[in-house]
Amino acid sequence: MTLFDRVFNGSDAVYGLTEGAINAAIEKHGADKEVSFPNTAYSLPCYYGVTGTKVTNLGELKDALGVAKSLMTREKRLNDAFMSGVATALCAEFIEVLKYIDGAEPYSEPCYGHLADAIIRELGVPLVTGDIPGVAVILGKAPTADDAAALVKSYQAQGILVTLVGDVIDQCAEKGVNMGAGVRVIPLGKDVTAVIHVVSVAIRAALIFGNVAPGDAGALMKYTFERVPAFVNAFAPLDDVVVACGAGAIALGFPVITNETENIFRVPKSLIVQEDVSKFNATSLEARDIKIKITNIDIPVAFASAFEGEIIRRK
Amino acid sequence: MGDFKLTSVDEFEAATARLLETGAKVGADSWQLRVKNQSPHCKFGETGVCCRICAMGPCRITPKAPRGICGCDVHGIVGRNYLKFTAGGAATHSDHGREICHTLYLSAEDGNYKVKDPEKLKRIAKEWGVETEGKDIYDLAHEMAELALLEYGKPFGTQRWLKRAPQTTQDIWDREGIAPRAIDREVSTSLHMTHMGCSSKPEALIRQSLRAGLADGWGGSMCGTEFSDVLFGTPKPIDTEANLGVMNAENVNIIVHGHDPSLSEMICEYADDPEMIAYAKSFGAKGITVSGVCCTSNEVAMRRGIPMAGNFLQQENVVLTGACEAIVVDVQCIFPALGPLSKCFHTKFITTSPIAQMPDSEFIEFHAENAGENAKAIVKLACENFVNRNKDLVYIPDMKQKATVGYSVEAIVKVLDGVTNSQVDETGTTKPLIECITSGVIRGAVAMVGCNNPKIRPDHAHIELMKKLIANDIVVIASGCAAQAAAKAGLMDKQSKDLCGAGLKRVCELADIPPVLHMGSCVDISRMMILAATLAKDSGLKISQLPVVGCAPEWMSEKAVSIGNYVVATGIDTFLGVDPYVSGSSEVAELLTNGVREWVEAAYTVEKDIDKLVDSMIDRIEEKRAAIGI
């Protein structure tokens, strides 16, 4: 199967799920039921960023799904694969927002789910100054828990903001990795759709700091491509849904590094197969052209600005 | 997106119309007028059914006269004409290559010509099994030049360069009996076969056409390209400008036109000389501007960034600006009309090669031995001529575009190294390009080559085809006048990435390249063969399986037919916008567009409708992708 077919299949699958979820929600709550994420001025930030339209209730969400569907064209061109990937991301946002109906709190420790505007504003300045030199999005299940912990710590030591989606969260917890926004390791959620909460960060960064007009998708993607130094580490096995999400990430300019070797196509600087997970860090930084300015201080504990927010508790 | 804008063919034509007004004032002839005089063309010639290879004729074939006097039928006549056409082209490129080999033979540490890329020379020497260790580079150059010259007339064996092709391709050539032997021999054999009373069987004639073509592409042209690189440097990305606006009204304008870089390199060398610049100033000019026309222009643009004034059908326009002090030519594609035209102005029309002597020109015979002094004499002559300029006639259209050129295979591989990841990839291969193609980010590649032809609106086909191809994520590699059309329009400006589909645009951004890559002159189509061979080897596919096609939408010369034959014989489908005088024979037309596929896994498509031509290329590329499951 070609890479584009995998993307298209993945976006079709996600569309199907989203359509079912929205219809079920309308049946349960009615089309006028309000939907929103907590603590954001940007409605559904991804959808708002891409289309310029705010979604307030389930009926509008259904309309928005129609817009997402219109992006899922199946021509054999990268633009179509990109747009299908973006549409997949939008569907993920729709699925996620449904979790918040009636002020529900769908995520609990250690997962964050949706991130408030305040956190983005806080992270935005160090991101722009290069104090946070990159954003790692780690997705799936590492070959071993040790691999997961080592990878996260390697980024953390470089000051890179790490977000986690899927089984990697449990793997890190198992290894006692200290997680939280304060130490720049943010577990988002166990479902793959939770990845949208980091995409939402990049898009809100463009809206807040980049002064990109909502709905100017071209300018949005240019900003994220040039200014948001994010990259994705996706562990094997990759299903079509993850591949479709990956297309969305690549559309925003974020390279995807994976250890998947089955039925995968390599794309220079964008979709890189690195079988050795211990080299994910070096491969990712080179792929995203992230240069770390670091002086190695030989001390018995980790040292990086990421640990500035750490809280020491009594045992 | 900035203020980047392509220059349109309409704008080209408006500028030409304005220049023709000047021409009318001074009583100049023009190709536009001569086309009118020659139209309509003779149908017998146009369909290839007229034969005049012996004095029993001329014969022509009609339904009432189905055979010539010797009894040859229409298929034999059309096939012979086609083979003769090919032989003309192969001879032309090959003789060019031979001149370069001779120049290499005369290279010397303190001579006019030096070895500028010794590494490339050593690389070729290793390929040919020549010992390089401890050898003086000039001794090696002379040894290699002699070996290369022997390729032209060796009594036994086939071309050395064939070994560069993938084994599968070499096997096809062997199986079909078309591996070219000595270069000159294939040309001679072609002329022998087409003599009265020799071959009249279409299969035999077309097979030899492919072989003569291969003797060019994988023989003469490859010698020309490879040893030009050795002598003058292997091209690397360099910025330049294109279109008539590169000429400078305040400077002495020297135009180099033709093909062989031995002449133009020397002229450029002297035009840069402070002594010459001071000399130009002594006549009231502010400096010296050298710009080029046709393939000699491509050569100096690729290596020196010398601006390109125009392509084939713009050669008269250069003189019509009234600001051309000298147009210096060597061989091939030079309008004899430049002689009478230059007489209408102060322009000196300087011929330099015994191969191309023309009335109404000043003949300054140019050889490798006297290159320095003659180049200097020519530059001086141009400077002295500045005072004769009639200022009332000067009009240089304010029209030029930026272009990044210089994409030799070596440069392309270097660009590709730039997008590798040192943690996972090896460098020095075409694999990143293959990955872009197999993933679908780039759909394929089209090699756009060839001339201008008044039968097609000049440059329109080149530019429109390229625009549609890049919008469909198909990368274009270009050479010859096709490349210059692209440069004039602005398609070699990196900013033209915004005209691409998302895939090619991303590639242009990451690799920092324009979407149309200038690979050089017409002999440099041999570079494209090497690129195709490398892609095949790096991907493990056959050349014929790659989603790559060739296209010559506005072709005109015999050389273009020779090129077409070697491209097809290398396994690459080739698309033509002008019929090669074969429509008079159903058998020959069928062979070329279909039958040869059985032999070499590729064939021609002739389509005069430009929109259909580009669509059929895109379809073919998608078919090739589907066939290998990408």
Q: Which of A78, A265, A271 sits opposite B502 (nearest CB)?
A: A78
Query: Phi and psi (nearest 5°) for B149?
Result: -65, -30
Interface contact A291, partner B, CB < 8 A:
no
Cα-based distances in Å from A298 to A133, A292, B495: 21, 17, 47
Say how far apart CA B533 and CA B524 lie, in whole Å.
14
Tell me the shortest Cα–Cα distance from B76 to chain A, in angstroms.
45
- DSSP β-bridge partners for residue A185: A162, A180
Q: Is B198 annotated as a binding residue?
A: no
The angle subtended at Cα A223 by Cα A217 and Cα A224, nearest 5°, is 90
pLDDT at A129: 78
Average pLDDT, chain B: 97
Both B212 and B256 in a single domain? no
SS3 per residue for chain A: CCHHHHHHHHHHHHHHHHHHHHHHHHHHHCCCCECCCCCCCCCCHHHHHHHCCCCCEHHHHHHHHHHHHHHCCCCCCHHHHHHHHHHHHHHHHHHHHHCCHHHCCCCCCCCCCCCCHHHHHHHHHHHHHCCCCCEEEEECCCCCHHHHHHHHHHHHHCCCEEEEECCHHHHHHHCCCCCEHHHCEEEEECCHHHHHHHHHHHHHHHHHCCCCCCCCHHHHHHHHHHHCCEEEEECCCCCHHHHHHHHHHHHCCCCEEECCCCCCCCECCCEEECCCHHHHHHHHHHHCCCCCCCCCCCCCCCCCHHHHHCCCCCC
> For residues B458 and B475, is the Cβ–Cβ distance under 8 A?
no
Check B419 against A268: CB less than 8 A apart: yes
> pLDDT digits over B89-120, tens only?
999 999 999 999 999 999 999 999 999 999 99
The pTM for the full model equals: 0.95
> For residues B339 and B287, is the Cβ–Cβ distance under 8 A?
no
Mutate: best of B427, B441, B473, partner A, most A CBs <10 A: B441
Domain harbouring B80, CATH code: 1.20.1270.30
Check B622 against A282: CB less than 8 A apart: no
Both B438 and B540 in a single domain? yes
Both B251 and B349 in a single domain? yes
> For residues B83 and B191, is the Cβ–Cβ distance under 8 A?
no
Beta strands in B454-506 (DSSP E): 474-479
- Residue B24: inside a domain: no
Domain limits for position B536: 403-627
Say how far apart CA B531 and CA B413 lie, in whole Å.
9
Which amino acid is present at B109? E
Check A283 against B506: CB less than 8 A apart: no
pLDDT at B191: 98
Last residue of a domain, one of B209, B232, B255: B232
- Residue B237: inside a domain: no
Mutate: best of A75, A77, A283, partner B, most B CBs <10 A: A77
Domain harbouring B501, CATH code: 3.40.50.2030
Both B511 and B566 in a single domain? yes
Mutate: best of A216, A269, A275, partner B, most B CBs <10 A: A269
**Which chain B residues have a beta carbon less than 8 Å from that of A251?**
502
Q: Is B294 annotated as a binding residue?
A: no
Tallying the residues shown for chain A, one arrives at: 315
Cα-based distances in Å from A268 to A75, A260, B253, B375, B481: 22, 15, 45, 47, 32
Cα-based distances in Å from A116 to A59, A182, A212, B470, B489: 24, 14, 19, 42, 50
> pLDDT digits over B22-78, tens only?
999 999 999 999 999 999 999 999 999 999 999 999 999 999 999 999 999 999 999
Per-residue buried b or exposed e for B330-351, using 16+ beta carbons within 10 Å of the residue's own CB: bbbbbbebbbbbbebbbbbbbb
Q: Which helix (H) or strand (E) holds B604?
A: strand B604-606
Say how far apart CA B25 and CA B18 lie, in whole Å.
11
Tell me the shortest Cα–Cα distance from A26 to chain B, in angstroms.
37
Q: Is B436 annotated as a binding residue?
A: no
In A, minimum Cα distance to B424 occurs at: A274
**Which chain B residues have a beta carbon less than 8 Å from that of A3?**
439-440
Check B423 against A286: CB less than 8 A apart: yes
Tell me the shortest Cα–Cα distance from A127 to chain B, in angstroms.
22
Say how far apart CA B431 and CA B429 lie, in whole Å.
5
Which amino acid is present at B165? A
Token pair belonging to A195: 């990845």
Q: Is B268 annotated as a binding residue?
A: no
In the DSSP assignment, the letter for residue B39 is: P
Tell me the shortest Cα–Cα distance from B282 to chain A, in angstroms.
52
Both B193 and B73 in a single domain? yes
- pLDDT less than 70: residues of chain B: 1-2
Query: How many distinct structural domains can be found in chain B?
Result: 3
Q: Which of A78, A274, A279 sits opposite B441 (nearest CB)?
A: A78
Strand, helix or coil for residue B24: helix
Check B423 against A270: CB less than 8 A apart: no
Token pair belonging to A191: 């479902």
In the DSSP assignment, the letter for residue B253 is: E
Helix axes B221-232, B74-105, angle to 10 degrees: 20
Q: If you search the block for the tokens 């009478």, which residue do you land on?
A: B340
**Which chain B residues have a beta carbon less than 8 Å from that of A265?**
435, 438-440, 630
- Residue B15: inside a domain: no
Interface contact A272, partner B, CB < 8 A:
yes
Mutate: best of A5, A77, A78, partner B, most B CBs <10 A: A78
Q: Which residues contact A223 (CB under 8 A, 6 or more apart)?
A: A205, A206, A210, A212
Last residue of a domain, one of B352, B375, B393: B393
Check B506 against A78: CB less than 8 A apart: yes
- pLDDT less than 70: residues of chain A: 293-294, 315
Q: Is B259 annotated as a binding residue?
A: yes
Sheet with A230-234: strands ordered across: A185-189, A161-165, A135-139, A230-234, A256-258, A271-273
CA atoms within 13 A on the CB side of B101: 22
Both B385 and B519 in a single domain? no
Tell me the shortest Cα–Cα distance from A82 to chain B, in angstroms.
8
Check A77 against B502: CB less than 8 A apart: yes
Say how far apart CA A136 and CA B550 lie, in whole Å.
43
Both B349 and B467 in a single domain? no
- Residue B26: inside a domain: no
pLDDT at A128: 74
In B, minimum Cα distance to A247 occurs at: B441
- Residue B360: inside a domain: yes
Q: Is B346 annotated as a binding residue?
A: no
**Which chain B residues have a beta carbon less than 8 Å from that of A77?**
443, 472-473, 501-503
Say how far apart CA B525 and CA B477 lie, in whole Å.
10
> For residues B259 and B522, is the Cβ–Cβ distance under 8 A?
yes
In the DSSP assignment, the letter for residue B179 is: -
- DSSP β-bridge partners for residue B349: B327
> For residues B617 and B444, is the Cβ–Cβ distance under 8 A?
no
Report the complex ipTM.
0.92
Q: Is B522 annotated as a binding residue?
A: yes
Say how far apart CA B74 and CA A185 lie, in whole Å.
80
Both B315 and B345 in a single domain? yes
Both B369 and B467 in a single domain? no
Closest CA to B325 of B357, B275, B291: B291
Both B251 and B220 in a single domain? no
Instruction: For CA atoms A109, A112, A118, A120, give the dihedral sign.
Output: positive
CA atoms within 13 A on the CB side of B406: 25
- DSSP β-bridge partners for residue A230: A135
The angle subtended at Cα B409 by Cα B404 and Cα B413, nearest 5°, is 90
Q: Which residues contact A34 (CB under 8 A, 6 or more apart)?
A: A56, A57, A101
Both B223 and B249 in a single domain? no
Check A77 against B501: CB less than 8 A apart: yes
> For residues B292 and B255, is the Cβ–Cβ distance under 8 A?
yes
Say how far apart CA A243 and CA B439 lie, in whole Å.
13
Chain A to chain B Cβ contacts (< 8 Å): 72
In A, minimum Cα distance to B473 occurs at: A77
Last residue of a domain, one of B167, B197, B232: B232
Token pair belonging to B140: 């090696």
Say how far apart CA A258 and CA A138 lie, in whole Å.
10
> For residues B49 and B584, is the Cβ–Cβ distance under 8 A?
yes
Interface of A with B in 71-90 (CB under 8 A): 76-79, 81-82
Q: Which of B419, B435, B440 sits opposite A78 (nearest CB)?
A: B440
- Residue B36: inside a domain: no
Residue ranges of chain B whose CB lies within 8 Å of a chain A CB:
416, 419-425, 432, 435-436, 438-441, 443, 472-473, 501-503, 506, 510, 622, 629-630
**Which chain A residues have a beta carbon less than 8 Å from that of B1?**
none
Both B522 and B582 in a single domain? yes
- Residue B359: inside a domain: yes
Q: Is B295 annotated as a binding residue?
A: yes
- Residue B347: inside a domain: yes
